[in-house]
Structure 1
Amino acid sequence: MTGLGVVLLLVLLALVVGAVAIIRAVTPFIVNAVVGLVVLVLAEVLFGLEVAVTGLTLLVVAVAGVPGAVLVVLLSVFGVAF
């Protein structure tokens, strides 16, 4: 294997390791966002509460999970935000 081949192999390995690290870091936020959106949909279906799903709503739900979704619903019910 030539020097260029070794360098390319090391670059490819670094890219794969970086991609795996990014996926591991982002996965909990994606799971929180999906579960939080399910909570928001259930709040709308079961209780008739309407919450606008915006970027800020998704951010709060993705970071805080179910408690964040409950907070968003409560803030919407009391007319404070969302």
Structure 2
Amino acid sequence: MSVTSRHVQAVYVCLQIALWFISLSVWFPIAILSGITSYDPGVFIPFALVTFALSLVLLACYKPVSRFLSRHLESNNATSIV
């Protein structure tokens, strides 16, 4: 409901948070299974760069998606009034 209402920014922030938490839960076991025994932050930089790239893609999609949703919401309101 909040995606089609005017809470697009809250949905975007929640998607960003979910992306980072999901990436932590995916990349950490992959790193452990691949034999990484050091927990230094520098070891996880390649994994963090992938997540950062996905985060930037999500950021790039924010404006077009919010415009689409606002147009879609306005068109639904206009057709329901008529």
Q: TM-score, normalised by structure 1?
A: 0.45
Q: Rg bigger for which structure? A: 1
